[in-house]
Structure 1
Amino acid sequence: MMGKINLDESITSIKGIGPKRLEVLKSHGIETYGDLLTTYPRRYLDRNFTKDIILKQGDVVTLLGSISDSYLVHGRKSRLIVGFRTQNNERVNLVFFRGVNFFNKLLTVDRKLVVSGKLEYFKGYQILHPEYELLTDGHEDENDLLHVGRIIPLYPSTEALKEEGFDSKGFRKAIDSILKQGAIPENLPTKVIKKRNLMNRDEAIRIIHFPETMESIQPARQRFAYEELYYFQLLLLYKQKEREKVKRVLWPLPKSKSAESLLKNLPFSLTEDQKNAVDSILKSTKKDAPLAALLQGDVGSGKTITALLIALHYIDNSIQTVFLAPTEILARQHFETIYKFLGNMPFLGIELLLGGENKKTRAEKLARIKNGESSLVVGTHSLFQDDVQFADLGLVVIDEQHKFGVDQRETIRSKGKNPDILAMTATPIPRTLCLTLYGDLELVNIRSKPAGRKPIDTRWYKEDRRAGVYNSIRKYVKEGRQCYIVYPLVEDSEKLDLESCTKAHEELSKDIFSDLKVGLLHGKMKSAEKDTVMAAFKQNKIQILVTTTVVEVGVDVPNATILVVEHADRFGISQLHQLRGRVGRSDLESYCILMTGNYISDDAMERLNALVNSNDGYALSEKDLEIRGPGELLGVKQSGLPEFKIADLVHDRNLLEDAKKDATEFANGDDTEKWEIQSRFQEGKFLFAN
């Protein structure tokens, strides 16, 4: 019987891996047997060749053969032509425009190899820059079954790895040498394997690296995707349990006179969803462990008033609250909204803290915050600075929280006495991403919108309808309404896009709407300028606001009922839905016009049609996830998404749901297979808990 392989064994135990190779492999995150075995193939080639393959232009082929000749062609662009003979003695030219000298030395006459690529025809069959695999190097048996005559895995590699012999062939040899040493230990509970009908770990690892059929790969892949998601969910549960060990210091009052007073004086009634959200979150604050919740609400669903009602239970007990916003515009919007609601309660002490304030003003605000005079502080990144100190910070409300990094969230928490965290987002996040990003948070949803709000009429027009769009804008503005015209601002070409926005403002104000007041707002303006423009727009002194995505969140002008998005094909669904939320904030009919050129991609068509057909942010977020994937949807830089090796959050949604249920049951149960993985969580090696 084969013994168990020690997955923590150093890869230096593998023949041929010395200090130099180890250094390169370590730089790619590969130090142990376990690291190497979970370097999964990126794709597979079926090299079960047939002798009678018929070459056909346009086909993607995998061919076995050898080099017959090679020569350089000089011209406007030099290229290397390598003559390749198939097993049927048919000639295919391999053409290289890049790395000419490298390939000229590597692909010598009689060298046997496998090439893959798309067949083209130019004075004979050719493949441009084919993928290739060398079969012999003069020392190996050309019939080595690891590399030919079977389904071959191709591994992610880099030039540095290839230089050290770790191309796909090198990975296959090293992995094969490990698998010959014994069996792979199981790391999932037996009952989970049976319940989910999963392949056992040893069989799955052998199949995923050396499959006998293409059909066998999927169940092996599913086993490892499930495993990865299961252990990730356990990690979230572990983080939750660790957080709960530090007990609550500050307790909000069960009843708040200020909240009751505010509710009586509101000019509207809360929706059932808002009431349920307040009740649910306040119920959680009765526990010993601090609150960690995510309040999700579609644009215009009333998250701010919901969070404020919760905050008043803290403030009435002299516990300070922070509202943290990602932009100054949104911070000011929150401050103004809160001040409007609480203006007749000056004793509460509301503070707005932004960057760029003069020293004297800032010092006065900081003193009030430090001595507890200010109960509710609204601010931006300026709140992270060292000079901001609180008397008794007990609740942190983070708006559009995915726009803040993990370190930033921890910085603000460290300024309080183990404060409760209420994260908010107006970007409906697909359930899959919620379970991944916020699996350790309590999820609270506000799906309904305040009474009287009408669905926004969304239309997609091309250039030939522009004159009609401008006529409609003029008609509605003459009736007293207001309009946004939004231009994209993309990092790669920020300067170019900014110019297009300012240029458009100039053209619209001088040539198209010369009789109307047209304003300009973009992120590069100074704070004072932005404030002046927004104040004028809110007062209807500006009728048409030409702007960038700086208005994506938080701006609340109920009289603005028309939104035109230029180059709408350059936005994702969720961002367009966010922008659309700038209108439809009253009982007036509102319109969102998506403008594009005549020719756009199929993906863009799918996105725009989705917007036209639905006002449901949650359904749209699922569609966005399908089209763009999680990294693009949330913004790669600070998405906080884990880097799964094999699991895919789009295609493995059902697996994630199953993994969460099973992990929760395991962590909470009194199972004989004890939860002996905590130290490994801390090491970040939770995939190999034996």
Structure 2
Amino acid sequence: MLRQPISEIKGVGAKFQEQLNELGLFTIEDLLFYFPFRYDTYETKELTELAHDEKATIEGQVASEPVLSFFGRKKSRLTFTLQVGQFAVKAVMFNRAFAKKQLNPGDTVTLTGKWDQHRLQITVSQFKKGEAKSQEPIQPVYTLKEGVTLQRLRKVIKSAIDEYVEEVPELLPEEMQLSYKLPERPKAVQQMHYPECRVLLKHAKRRFIYEEFLIFQLKMQLLRKHHRESTTGNAQGYNNEKLTDFVQSLPFELTGAQKRSLADILKDMKQPHRMNRLLQGDVGSGKTAVAAIALYASITAGKQGSLMVPTEILAEQHYQSLSGMFEGIANVALLTGSIKGKRRQEILHSVENGEVDILIGTHALIQDEVLFQDLGFVIVDEQHRFGVKQRRALRDKGLHPDVLFMTATPIPRTLAITAFGDMDVSVIDEMPAGRKPVETYWVKGEMTNRVLSFIQKEIDAGHQAYVICPLIEESDKLDIQNAVDLYHQLASVFEPKVPVGLMHGRLHNDEKDEVMQQFAKNETKILVSTTVVEVGVNVPNATVMVIYDAERFGLSQLHQLRGRVGRGSDQAYCILLADPKGDVGKERMRIMTETTDGFELSEQDLKLRGPGDFFGKKQSGMPEFKVGDMVHDYRALETARKDAAEIILEEKLEQDRKYRVLKEEVYKDKSLLGDVLD
């Protein structure tokens, strides 16, 4: 019944059906589970309880004759004073000229709108003569598209609920509902759309938060189980003696955190199933050293290894450092898009016949023409969450290598373990000895000239500087213009004595590489860039990072940018140029100047911004939840993870009749389970 098209509902004609389809609503089930993104409550509060900029409902007496003024074409503004207790509040209504005749001094009115704490002003979105109590207490508000009004959508959803809500299947076994005191599913759907009171709405939300998380975690646990079972006979018997000698030959002592992470990885390599591990470590924490040791372990087991990175310049830098580390004991090769012709064919041939032990490159490594003799270990650097398609590309070559993902984005461990439920997580949470923390300062815009003098001073001392300007989207012309304008401003100040470079997202990859190479070789002294410079390039000579409009970035991104400097032995500086208006922006600047610990910053960032922004819209690994919030509802997420692990371990999903409906729901959406369902 619930799979029927929405045209079955009274009042949905062909045109309206088309408009609803654009909202992603095709079936009656889609409508029932199209939950409101917020609820308007018309409960009045005391003015002293209201927060600045919140949506509020207040009640009082009209204390002045409303004044109507016109501006623009057919635009009007109506203002009057509302007496609320001992306070006189200014009320502003736009484009409601008709209300002048309805509102008279002495009338009791209820106003809903945006509250301005500083001016004691309300910008009215809804008004009603009389007291608030006659209003419905809680009203659902849905995401809309052109042609679909809120009233009409509410009406259609109400019809769907009245007629079909009892058909909604129960997913959770009875004992689970009882132990967590969750309402039944049909009742919860009803309360999500038309809550009788706040308490029942809270319980309905709690139910769907847990249900969403449980389904997601079950998929993750199934993927994990599948990865393990599909790659038996994958154990790598590495040579412990050679490995110990190699570690002792390194010119530095491993930190405790590096040793722990390495132990995790080596333990995985001995297992008969394929490794699927995430190695997190702050910028400069020594992930590459751990990766190199793991690669060597695989070589001593008679296998080949590969390291995949996002950019050519990064691939070249890794090639230089690993060639030095492995000189005389392993053959390292580099393969990127710009290596062509005869040289390329030679490398491909050497990889295929096993002469190359370690191949470093961009995602070109998983293309059809690259054939390994015996690939045992793959490292994927910088958040290329190796998707199902890439895994399939390796599998189609008959390969089941151990895979290690590395990221310098410090995701809070708790969130990482839960979000990347199909992976094991290791964390390097201490810095190598001798690294000087980057000194971070927050300065206001009027101090720009002093900042430029400081850059000149560092350049005179033989160093280089990054100057970053914000870029929200790579297609945003305005922001690219910002970078170009800033480049011209700085060039007019510093050139010709000090060469200035420019980098932004509209440049082609080879142009970006050329700009970056010039900076890496110290040919340009100042690099003006948008955030495309974030990913792991190593320029030890750069000691200054200036970030314009720093309040437009999140903490994690600021921290990533700060990590571009301080890679040599000299003291490095990060200068945040910012004039934040709100408290969150000011708090962000304060936190940045007080801590250089990426994990602490990421915890703070989560509190300030939430996980959607935290991972970024393009982060493929992050699920989108309708009701749940991975940070706010973290406890429910953790509970769901434990429950899902137990259900899969005890094979309840496959064997217990009580889990039949839940199993159908888990397997319904193939987006996460492509590997398992194939």
TM-score, length basis structure 1 = 0.78
Partners of 1:373 and 1:508 in 2: CA distance: 52
1:432–1:656: 8 Å Cα contact kept in structure 2?
A: no
Q: Where does residue 39 of structure 2 map in the other structure?
A: 44
Does 224-233 or 618-627 show the bigger shift? 618-627
1:71-150 alignment to 2 at 5 Å? 76-78=72-74, 117=113, 130=125, 149=136
Alignment of 1:381 with 2:366, yes or no, is no
Partners of 2:201 and 2:298 in 1: CA distance: 55
Code of the residue aligned with 2:434 in structure 1: it is G
Q: Which runs of 5+ in 1 are unaligned?
A: 1-5, 50-57, 64-72, 83-91, 98-113, 134-146
Partners of 2:266 and 2:492 in 1: CA distance: 52
Q: Where does residue 500 of structure 1 map in the other structure?
A: 485
Code of the residue aligned with 2:371 in structure 1: it is Q
Partners of 1:257 and 1:381 in 2: CA distance: 33
Q: Where does residue 456 of structure 1 map in the other structure?
A: 438
1:592–1:148 CA distance, 2 compared to 1 (3 A): closer
Q: Which runs of 5+ in 2 are unaligned?
A: 45-52, 60-68, 79-90, 97-109, 129-133, 673-678
Q: Where does residue 447 of structure 1 map in the other structure?
A: 429
In the TM superposition, residue 483 of structure 1 has moved relative to its aligned partner by: 3.2
Does 237-246 or 36-45 show the bigger shift? 36-45
Partners of 1:355 and 1:604 in 2: CA distance: 41
1:276–1:127 CA distance, 2 compared to 1 (3 A): closer
Q: What's the secondary structure of 1:284's corresponding residue?
A: helix
Equivalent in 158, 178, 187 of residue 164 of structure 2: 178
In the TM superposition, residue 30 of structure 1 has moved relative to its aligned partner by: 3.8
Q: CA-to-partner distance for each residue in 1:572-631, whole Å, 9 max, x for gaps? A: 2111101111223344432211123x4644433222222111111112112222333333
1:370–1:391: 8 Å Cα contact kept in structure 2?
A: yes
Partners of 2:127 and 2:27 in 1: CA distance: 28
In the TM superposition, residue 532 of structure 1 has moved relative to its aligned partner by: 6.2
Equivalent in 460, 465, 478 of residue 447 of structure 2: 465
In the TM superposition, residue 162 of structure 1 has moved relative to its aligned partner by: 4.9
Alignment of 1:332 with 2:316, yes or no, is yes
In the TM superposition, residue 549 of structure 1 has moved relative to its aligned partner by: 3.0
Q: What's the secondary structure of 1:391's corresponding residue?
A: coil
Alignment of 1:487 with 2:469, yes or no, is yes
1:251–1:314: 8 Å Cα contact kept in structure 2?
A: no
1:258–1:312: 8 Å Cα contact kept in structure 2?
A: no
1:520-559 alignment to 2 at 5 Å? 537-538=519-520, 543-559=525-541
In the TM superposition, residue 427 of structure 1 has moved relative to its aligned partner by: 0.4
Code of the residue aligned with 1:356 in structure 2: it is S
Partners of 2:344 and 2:401 in 1: CA distance: 24
Code of the residue aligned with 2:36 in structure 1: it is P
In the TM superposition, residue 242 of structure 1 has moved relative to its aligned partner by: 2.2
Equivalent in 27, 30, 39 of residue 35 of structure 1: 30
Q: Where does residue 374 of structure 2 map in the other structure?
A: 392
In the TM superposition, residue 40 of structure 1 has moved relative to its aligned partner by: 1.3
1:639–1:507 CA distance, 2 compared to 1 (3 A): farther
1:656–1:507 CA distance, 2 compared to 1 (3 A): same
In the TM superposition, residue 445 of structure 1 has moved relative to its aligned partner by: 0.7
Code of the residue aligned with 1:425 in structure 2: it is T
Partners of 1:601 and 1:31 in 2: CA distance: 41
Q: CA-to-partner distance for each residue in 1:395-452, whole Å, 9 max, x for gaps? A: 2211112576654565456445122221110001134642454111001111111111
1:526–1:665 CA distance, 2 compared to 1 (3 A): closer
Alignment of 1:214 with 2:198, yes or no, is yes
Q: CA-to-partner distance for each residue in 1:124-180, whole Å, 9 max, x for gaps? A: x9987x5799xxxxxxxxxxxxx97563323333335559x952222122212223x
In the TM superposition, residue 296 of structure 1 has moved relative to its aligned partner by: 0.5
1:301-340 alignment to 2 at 5 Å? 301-340=285-324
1:456–1:590: 8 Å Cα contact kept in structure 2?
A: yes
Equivalent in 339, 348, 354 of residue 336 of structure 2: 354
Partners of 2:628 and 2:613 in 1: CA distance: 17
Q: Where does residue 270 of structure 1 map in the other structure?
A: 254
In the TM superposition, residue 508 of structure 1 has moved relative to its aligned partner by: 4.0
Q: Where does residue 615 of structure 1 map in the other structure?
A: 596
1:272–1:211 CA distance, 2 compared to 1 (3 A): same
Q: What's the secondary structure of 2:379's corresponding residue?
A: strand
Q: Where does residue 156 of structure 1 map in the other structure?
A: 143
Partners of 1:488 and 1:377 in 2: CA distance: 35
Q: What's the secondary structure of 2:625's corresponding residue?
A: coil
Q: What's the secondary structure of 1:285's corresponding residue?
A: helix
Q: CA-to-partner distance for each residue in 1:194-253, whole Å, 9 max, x for gaps? A: 443433434423322222223432222111111111111111111212222312455423
Q: CA-to-partner distance for each residue in 1:470-522, whole Å, 9 max, x for gaps? A: 444444444444433333344213531341353144124328xx3x5655555
Partners of 2:514 and 2:191 in 1: CA distance: 65
Q: Where does residue 604 of structure 1 map in the other structure?
A: 585
% identical equivalent positions: 38
Partners of 2:514 and 2:562 in 1: CA distance: 23
Partners of 2:375 and 2:236 in 1: CA distance: 12
1:505–1:472 CA distance, 2 compared to 1 (3 A): closer
1:297–1:427: 8 Å Cα contact kept in structure 2?
A: yes
Equivalent in 252, 257, 276 of residue 236 of structure 2: 252
1:155–1:171: 8 Å Cα contact kept in structure 2?
A: no
Q: CA-to-partner distance for each residue in 1:31-80, whole Å, 9 max, x for gaps? A: 5554332221233344799xxxxxxxx995599xxxxxxxxx99841359
Q: What's the secondary structure of 1:152's corresponding residue?
A: strand
Partners of 1:74 and 1:467 in 2: CA distance: 44
1:61-80 alignment to 2 at 5 Å? 76-78=72-74
Does 203-212 or 518-527 show the bigger shift? 518-527
Q: What's the secondary structure of 2:642's corresponding residue?
A: helix
Partners of 1:604 and 1:413 in 2: CA distance: 46
Partners of 2:340 and 2:651 in 1: CA distance: 59
Alignment of 1:635 with 2:620, yes or no, is no
1:520–1:533: 8 Å Cα contact kept in structure 2?
A: yes
1:320–1:394: 8 Å Cα contact kept in structure 2?
A: yes
2:70–2:77: 8 Å Cα contact kept in structure 1?
A: no
**Matched residue pairs, number?**
619
In the TM superposition, residue 341 of structure 1 has moved relative to its aligned partner by: 1.2
Equivalent in 516, 525, 543 of residue 561 of structure 1: 543
1:11–1:539 CA distance, 2 compared to 1 (3 A): closer
Code of the residue aligned with 2:379 in structure 1: it is V
Code of the residue aligned with 2:73 in structure 1: it is K
Partners of 1:11 and 1:520 in 2: CA distance: 53
Does 311-320 or 152-161 show the bigger shift? 152-161
Alignment of 1:661 with 2:611, yes or no, is no
Q: CA-to-partner distance for each residue in 1:286-305, whole Å, 9 max, x for gaps? A: 22321111111111111111
Partners of 2:361 and 2:205 in 1: CA distance: 46
Partners of 1:45 and 1:7 in 2: CA distance: 28
Alignment of 1:593 with 2:549, yes or no, is no
Alignment of 1:168 with 2:163, yes or no, is no
TM-score, length basis structure 2 = 0.79
Partners of 2:290 and 2:122 in 1: CA distance: 65
1:329–1:554: 8 Å Cα contact kept in structure 2?
A: no
Alignment of 1:201 with 2:196, yes or no, is no
1:189–1:673: 8 Å Cα contact kept in structure 2?
A: no
Code of the residue aligned with 2:593 in structure 1: it is V
Partners of 1:554 and 1:47 in 2: CA distance: 51
1:667–1:675: 8 Å Cα contact kept in structure 2?
A: no
Partners of 2:465 and 2:93 in 1: CA distance: 58
